Structure 1
Amino acid sequence: MNPHNPNQTFPSAPPGIPFPMLTPKQEPRDETIQEIQYPNLENLPNQNLNLNLSLNLDFVSQALEQPTTTTAGAGTVDAARMAEIFRRSFTEGLQRQIQNNDAVDENPNANARAIVPVSASESNYNNAPPAGEVVNVRKHKELVRMTDVGLPDQRQFRDVVRRTRMVYDSVRVLAMAEEEGNFNVRRVRSDLKASATMRSRGLWLNRDKRIVGAIPGICIGDVFLYRMELCVVGLHGQPQAGIDYLPGSMSSNGEPIATSVIVSGGYEDDVDEGDVIIYSGHGGQDKNSRQVFHQKLEGGNLAMERSMHYGIEVRVIRGVRYEGTSSTSGKVYVYDGLYRIIECWFDVGKSGFGVFKFKLWRIDGQAKMGSLILKEAFLLRRDPLCYKPMCVISLDISKGMERVGIRLFNDIDRCNDPMCFEYLPRATFPHFVFHESGNATGCQCEGFCGEGCFCFIKNGNDFPYSQSGLLLKGKPVIFECGPSCSCPPHCRNRVTQKGLKHRLEVFRSRETGWGVRSLDLIQAGAFICEYTGVVLTREQSEIMTMSGDSLIYPNRFSNRWTEWGNLSLIQDGYVPPSYPSIPPLDFSLDVSRMRNVACYISHSSTPNVMVQFVLYDHNNLMFPHIMLFAMENIPPLREFSLDYGVADDELTGKLVICN
C-alpha cells in the first residue's frame, strides 16, 4: 500500500524468490566501453596534443566493475514483506519531514517544495565563463523550474545550446582524428574525451541549477549521437543510469525528484507505445543486463514515485537504433518531450523478480515526437511514395545528375516552380578561371595521402577532413586533391567533389516558401552539397542585375566557418586558422535559369548549415567552390538554414530568388 494513496496496492510476489542481498546495479550498459570516472578537476594539468587539444588522457579512466555475486535461495519474500519494503521507504521520509518541522503535502498535484522558480535572467546560461578561463565544477545545488522564458530568451538559450554542442562536436571530431592511424595512443572514446575536456573548463550547462521540465534551448526532436552529450547540455545528467534525479540530500524538502529518463529497451519489462510508456525501475541486474534481484524503492525508483506524487513532469529521451551512426552503441538519442508519471506499482517481472513499474503519459500540446519522425524518415527512405504520394511532384529534380535522387514535395498548394529550372550539379566557371590559374600541380601520392603530401602542405600542414570525411576545422579555403593528383579516388582529401550523398528533399513550407531537408540524419561536420550557379565576373554581374536576374554574392555569406573547430573556450591562447587565405571574392552566382538544391535553403541568423570555400579542379583563389557543411547534428526532416549575411528583417524567411 502506498501511504500517500491508500487505494493503491501492489501485486504479491510468488513464494521462493530470493531476497536481494546486493545494492542494485545501474541501468544496462548500451555502450561497449566502461564509463569514465572524473577526478578532482580543480588542478587539472593540461597537455598539448598534436591538434593543440588541451586534454590529459590520464584523467579519462575507466570505471572498475563491481564484483557480482548471486544469492539465489538466500530467503523468501511474501507479499506482506514486499509491501513493507515499499511502505518503509516513505515512512522514513515522512518522519524526516516531521522531525524538521516540515509540513507534509498530501496534494499529489501540488508543486514540490524542492522546486525553485527561476527567471530567465537568473539562469546560468547568462554566466558563461570568459574564453579560456578554467572554473571549478560545483555540485548540483537546487532543482529549479525556468519561468518567464519569452521569445528573445528562447532564442538566446537556443544559441547557447547550439554553440555548446558545436564546441563538443568540434573537440570530439578533432580527438577522433587524432587517434586515426596513431596506434601508440591509448584508445579512449572521443565522446568521453570531449565531455571531460568541456567539464574541466566548466562548459557543461545546467550544473548549478538542475532544471525540471523543458530545458530552454533544447527542442523536441533534437538528436544526440552520444549519451555524454546529454550530460554536457544538461538534458540528462547520468552518463549510465536511465533515471536522472536530484537526491534528497540536495533537495530543499529532503525528497528525491526525478527529472528525466532514457527509454532504450534495456529492461525486458518495458513497454513503449509512444504516448504511453510502461517504464521499469532501475536496479537488480547483473553485468549482462539480466534481472537477478528484486528492485528496491530507493534512488531513481523513489525519485520517480515522488515525482508522481507531486505531479512533476519528466523529460523522456529515447535511444533508437540508427544505421550509419558513428556512435559506438549504434544508437542515437532523441528528445521526445515531457511526460507525467500517472501510476506506480510493484510487479513480478518476466524473470520472476520484483520490478517497480511506472506508467508515463505524454503531455498534450507538444511538438511531434522526434522518434516518430525518425521512423517516418526511415519509411520514406524505403518507399518515397509511402506518404501522400499525390503530393510528390518529382522523385528526382536532378534527373539523375546527382548520386542520389532529390525529392520534390508539396502538400500546401499546386506550385512546382523548382521543376522550371535546369538543374546544375556543379558551379559553372568561365574558361579563363582555369587558364589564369596555371597548370594545377597535384600531389604524387600513389597510395593514401599522408604528411609530406603536397596538398597536405597547401592546407597549412594539416588535413581538413577526418578519415570518415568530417570537417575538422573551418578554414578560409580548403585545397582538396584534384584531377592532377596521383592519389586514388577514395583519398581522405576528396570529400566535396564526390557530390551529394544524403537523400535531400525540396518541400513547400508555409513559413519559408520552399525549403530543404534531409531524409537522413546528417552528422555535425558532414558535407551536404555545393551551392551552384553560373559564375559571373563583377562586370557581368552589373549587366545581369540591370536585367533583373537573380544573383548570389558569395562574399556576403557570413564567416560561420570560424565557429567550426573553434577551441578558444577550452585552449588558452587559441589562434583561429588564417592560412591558406584568399583575397576578397568579387564574383556572383547567376541562379535565374540554372541552379541546384542549395538555392532553396532558407536564411537564418542561427543556421545549422555553413559555407566553406574549397578548391580542387583549379588553383584560382578568386573563384572557389561554395561548399555547404552541417554545423550540428541535423535530424531527418528538419529544415536546413543558412546565414546569407543579411539581417533577419531584410528577408521574409529566405531570399527572393527561392520564391
Structure 2
Amino acid sequence: MGSLVPYLDLNLLPDHCITPKIEPKLEPLDEEPHFSTPNPNSSAYSNHDTGHYPESGSDVIQEISPISEIAANGNDVYSEYYRISQLFQSAFARKLQQYSDFSVVDPNSDLTVVDPNSLAIVPQPAETNVSRAVAKYKKHSRSAEMIRVATLGVEDARYYRDVVRRTRMLYDSLRILSVVEEERRGENTKRVRGDLRAASLMRSRGLWLNRDKRIIGAIPGIYVGDVFFFRIELCVVGLHGQLQAGIDYVTASQSSNGEPIATSIVVSGGYEDDEDAGDVIIYTGHGGQDKQFARQCIHQKLEGGNLALERSRYYGIEVRVIRGFKYERSITSKIYVYDGLYRIIDCWFDVGKSGFGVYKYKLVRMPDQPEMGSVLLKFAENLRTKPLAARPTGYLSLDISKGRETFPVFLFNDIDSDQEPMLFEYLVKPVFPSSAFQHMGNSIGCECVSGCSNDCFCAQRNGGEFPYDRNGILLRGKSLILECGSFCRCPPSCQNRVTQKGLKHRLEVFRSRETGWGVRSLDLIHAGSFICEYSGVALAREQVALFTMNGDSLVYPSRFPERWMEWGDLSQVFPEFVRPAYPSIPPLDFAMDVSTMRNVACYFSHSSSPNVMVQLVLYDHLNILYPHLMLFALENITPLRELSLDYGVACDWEGKLSICN
C-alpha cells in the first residue's frame, strides 16, 4: 500500500474550500459499520499493551496515529481492527468461560506459532505465572524474504491443504462464537465485528499463516476457486496481506534489491477505469480517488503499490488475483474468490474518465490453471435456473428424488452410458427398526410455544445451549445433538430444528473419470452448514450377520471417524479447552443398508481430508442407539466442487465404499 496523503477535516472548511478525501485503492465492498467509540478508561482497556498494532507494510506503520486518534475514527476498517485487537484479549475469553463445556485457565501454556521451515503449527514453551485468560498482544511482523514454492508432491499438497483447512475452521469457529456472544449481550451493548475479533485473537497467538515468508505465486494449500466471505480472512491465510488496500507488495526498504515487488491484488471494480474481462484485466493503480463518489480526483503517482506493480512487470513476476464482488447467497452479501496467477505484460500512464492521470496495468492469466472460481460461480447460477440451457446434453434426470426432496437432485453423465443411480429407490429419511421408537409415549419436550430460548428444556439437554446459531450454522461439533422434535411445542421455525427440514442445497450426482459417481453442489455452502442426511435401512446386529454372510456390503456408522471433534475445537487458542462431552452415546452397533434404497449422500466420495463431516442427531425418537447421520460442511464449499466424506474404511482402488460405486 502506498503512502497515505494527509487530508483536511472537511467539517472545518467553508463550502468553497472543500477538498476531496484521498484514499489508497480500497475494497469498495468492505462497508464499514459505525461503531461506538470505546471508553479508554473502561476495564476492557486495562492490562493490555496499547503500543502494538498490526502492520500493513512498513511504509504505512510509520504513519499510524496514536491509539486515541485511531479509536476516534470509527468508520475505518483499520481503526476498528486495531481497536478490537486491544479490547478483545481478555474480554472475549472471560465471556467464553460461560460455556459449560470448556474453561480457560492458563492460556500461555502450549502457545502455537508458525514453524518457518514447514509452515506447520507447532507447540512452543509456555511462560509461567500468567493468570490472564489470553496472552498479551504480541506483534508478529511479516517477513520480507521472498520465495516461490516449487511443485509439491501429493503428500505435501495434502498436508498444506489440511493446514489451511484447519486454520480456516478455527477462524470460522471463533467468528461464529463471537457473533453468538454479541447477540447474547443484547442490542444496547457495543457491537464488535466477529470477523475482526476472530482474526485478532488468532494473530496474537501466532496462528496466521505464511507470515515467515513472502510467497510469490501460488500459496500451498490454497486452491484456485477458494471462496472467502471476509476480507480479513485473506490476511489470516496469507493470500493477501492488506486489510483494505487492493495491492499487496514488499516495500523497497524490505526488498533485497531495494525495489518494491507486488505479490497480489484484489479486483473489485471499485475504480471507474478498471476493465475486467476474466483472463485479461486492465487494472488501475491506487491513490487519488474520492471514496464518496468513487471517481478520480487527482493524478496518481508512481509510488508504493503502483511502483511495485511496474517493477513486477519489469522482472516478470506473477501476482495472485482475488476477485471481490456482491453475491446474494453469501452470509455477508459479498465474497472474495481466488482466481489464480496473472502476469503484468504492460504498464502505462493514461488520462482516466474523470480527466485525471492514472496508471494502468494489463494483466493476463497464466495458462494451465484450473478454471476461475468466479466463472464457475456464474455457471452454477445458470445451472440452478436453466440447467438444460447451460448444459444441453448429459442430464439423465433433473430430479432422481422425484419430488421427495426440498430441492431437485440432478443426475449428470457425459462420460459413458452408466445410469446406476436411477436403478435404486430414493430414500429421503433412513428406516429405523421399530425398537428405536419404543417408549415414545414417555418422551418429554420443551413447552416453548412461541419459540425456544437458551434456558428451555431442550437447550439444557444439549449442555445448556443450542447447538446452532440463528442462521442454522453449527457452533461446535458434539458426540450427539438433541433437536426439538414431535414431543416439543415449539414451532417449525425453531432454531433447534435445523436438520429435520430436508435437503438444504441443490445437489448434483455426476459421473467422473477419476472417482466414478460423485456429488457436487450447485450452491455455495458455508462452513458449518447442514447439507443433507445419510439415508438407508438401519439393520440391527442380528440382521447385519445375515447380510454379511451373503457377501453384501454395508455402511457402518461406527467406522466414520469423529470429524465432529474438529469443528469448533479451540484448543489451539485456549489450551484448557474441553471438548463437548454431553450428551454422550455408547458405540454404535448398527449398519446402514443402501443396496436397494439410498439417497444422494451415498454417492459422496471418500477423502482423508474431507470437506464434509458426520454429526449424530436425534429428533424423532430418543433411542441413542439409532441416531441420524447428518452431514455438515467442514469448510466453505464452492459450487461444482466435489463433496467428500471420511468413511474410515474405503475401497483401495476407487477411494469409495464399494457399495456406492
Same fold (TM over 0.5): yes
Query: Is residue 160 of structure 2 the alignment partner of residue 157 of structure 1?
Result: yes
2:445 aligned partner: 442
Query: Is residue 281 of structure 2 the alignment partner of residue 272 of structure 1?
Result: no
Query: Is residue 45 of structure 2 the alignment partner of residue 51 of structure 1?
Result: no
Query: Is residue 481 of structure 2 the alignment partner of residue 478 of structure 1?
Result: yes
Amino acid paired to 2:82: Y
2:302 aligned partner: 297
Moved more, 401-410 or 287-296: 287-296
- Unaligned 5+ runs, structure 2: 1-18, 33-75, 100-113, 128-134
Q: Say if 1:272 and 1:29 are closer, same or farther in 2 by CA, change over 3 A.
A: closer
Query: Is residue 336 of structure 2 the alignment partner of residue 333 of structure 1?
Result: yes
Report the CA distance between 1:389 and its aligned residue. 2.5
1:91 aligned partner: none
Moved more, 184-193 or 581-590: 184-193
Aligned residue runs from structure 1 range 139-288, under 5 A: 139-147=142-150, 149-181=152-184, 182-288=186-292
Report the CA distance between 1:651 and its aligned residue. 4.9
Secondary structure of the equivalent of 1:324? coil
1:531 to 504, 521, 534: 534
2:499 aligned partner: 496
Amino acid paired to 1:358: Y
Report the CA distance between 1:27 and its aligned residue. 1.8
Q: Say if 1:633 and 1:148 are closer, same or farther in 2 by CA, change over 3 A.
A: closer
1:315 aligned partner: 320
Measured in 2, the distance between the counterparts of 1:180 and 1:479 equals: 22
Q: Say if 1:53 and 1:641 are closer, same or farther in 2 by CA, change over 3 A.
A: farther
Q: Say if 1:264 and 1:645 are closer, same or farther in 2 by CA, change over 3 A.
A: same
- Asked whether the equivalents of residues 552 and 591 of structure 1 are also in contact (C-alpha less than 8 Å), the reply is yes
Report the CA distance between 1:590 and its aligned residue. 0.6
Report the CA distance between 1:150 and its aligned residue. 2.4
- Asked whether the equivalents of residues 53 and 571 of structure 1 are also in contact (C-alpha less than 8 Å), the reply is no
- Asked whether the equivalents of residues 84 and 192 of structure 2 are also in contact (C-alpha less than 8 Å), the reply is no
Moved more, 596-605 or 205-214: 205-214
1:383 to 386, 390, 406: 386
Query: Is residue 609 of structure 2 the alignment partner of residue 590 of structure 1?
Result: no
Q: Say if 1:124 and 1:240 are closer, same or farther in 2 by CA, change over 3 A.
A: farther
- Asked whether the equivalents of residues 28 and 268 of structure 2 are also in contact (C-alpha less than 8 Å), the reply is no
Measured in 2, the distance between the counterparts of 1:41 and 1:128 equals: 23
What is the number of equivalent residue pairs in this alignment? 573
Amino acid paired to 1:155: R
Measured in 1, the distance between the counterparts of 2:83 and 2:410 equals: 51
Deviations 1:68-102 (A, max 9, x none): xxxxxxxxxxxxxxxxxxxxxxxxxxxxxxxxxxx
Deviations 1:185-226 (A, max 9, x none): 321221111111111111101112111100011010111111
Report the CA distance between 1:390 and its aligned residue. 2.6
Deviations 1:241-275 (A, max 9, x none): 11111111111111110000111111111111111
1:371 aligned partner: 374
User: What is the TM-score with the length of structure 2 in the denominator?
Assistant: 0.83
Measured in 1, the distance between the counterparts of 2:378 and 2:198 equals: 29
- Unaligned 5+ runs, structure 1: 1-19, 55-119
Deviations 1:116-161 (A, max 9, x none): xxxx996451354459996651233322212363222211111100
Query: Is residue 5 of structure 2 the alignment partner of residue 25 of structure 1?
Result: no
Query: Is residue 420 of structure 2 the alignment partner of residue 417 of structure 1?
Result: yes
Measured in 2, the distance between the counterparts of 1:258 and 1:21 equals: 28
Query: Is residue 352 of structure 2 the alignment partner of residue 349 of structure 1?
Result: yes
Q: Say if 1:471 and 1:292 are closer, same or farther in 2 by CA, change over 3 A.
A: same
- Asked whether the equivalents of residues 319 and 342 of structure 2 are also in contact (C-alpha less than 8 Å), the reply is yes
Amino acid paired to 1:172: R
Secondary structure of the equivalent of 2:265? strand
Report the CA distance between 1:23 and its aligned residue. 6.1
Q: Which has the larger radius of gyration?
A: 1
- Asked whether the equivalents of residues 445 and 458 of structure 2 are also in contact (C-alpha less than 8 Å), the reply is yes
- Asked whether the equivalents of residues 44 and 200 of structure 1 are also in contact (C-alpha less than 8 Å), the reply is no
Report the CA distance between 1:529 and its aligned residue. 0.2
Percent of residue pairs bearing the same amino acid type: 61
Moved more, 438-447 or 588-597: 438-447
Amino acid paired to 1:200: S
- Asked whether the equivalents of residues 474 and 565 of structure 1 are also in contact (C-alpha less than 8 Å), the reply is yes
TM-align CA RMSD: 2.3
